[in-house]
């Protein structure tokens, strides 16, 4: 019984660890659409802030991961 319990607890920690690593990897990868936004000289700072707000990029990094849980 303790073997099964240990395996279960380990699988929970492993799942959380994998989800965290994938989350942060996806956050640091550049997105083509957002790089186009940042490189577009015709967009105002206000328009860029609206886009960031729409996708939640103006919030701290840990906010979305806790929102998923």
Average pLDDT over residues 3-14: 95
Give 23 or 6, the one with higher predicted confidence: 6
Q: pLDDT tens digits, residue range 22-61? A: 888 877 776 656 666 667 778 888 888 888 788 777 777 6
The structural domains of the chain, with segments of one domain joined by +, span 1-29, 31-69
SS (H, E, C) the chain: CHHHHHHHHHHHHHHHHHHHHHHHHHHHCCCHHHHHHHHCCCCCHHHHHHHHHHHCCCCCCHHHHHHHC
**Alpha carbon distance 67, 16 (integer Å):** 14
Average pLDDT over residues 9-24: 91
Give 23 or 68, the one with higher predicted confidence: 23
Threshold 0.85, pTM exceeds: no
């Amino acid at each position: 019984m303790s073997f099964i319990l240990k395996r279960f607890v380990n699988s929970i920690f492993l799942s959380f660890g994998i989800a965290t690593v994938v989350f942060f990897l996806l956050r640091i990868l550049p997105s083509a659409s957002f790089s186009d936004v940042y490189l577009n000289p015709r967009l105002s700072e206000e328009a860029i802030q609206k886009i960031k707000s729409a996708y939640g990029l103006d919030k701290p990094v840990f906010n979305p991961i806790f929102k998923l849980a």
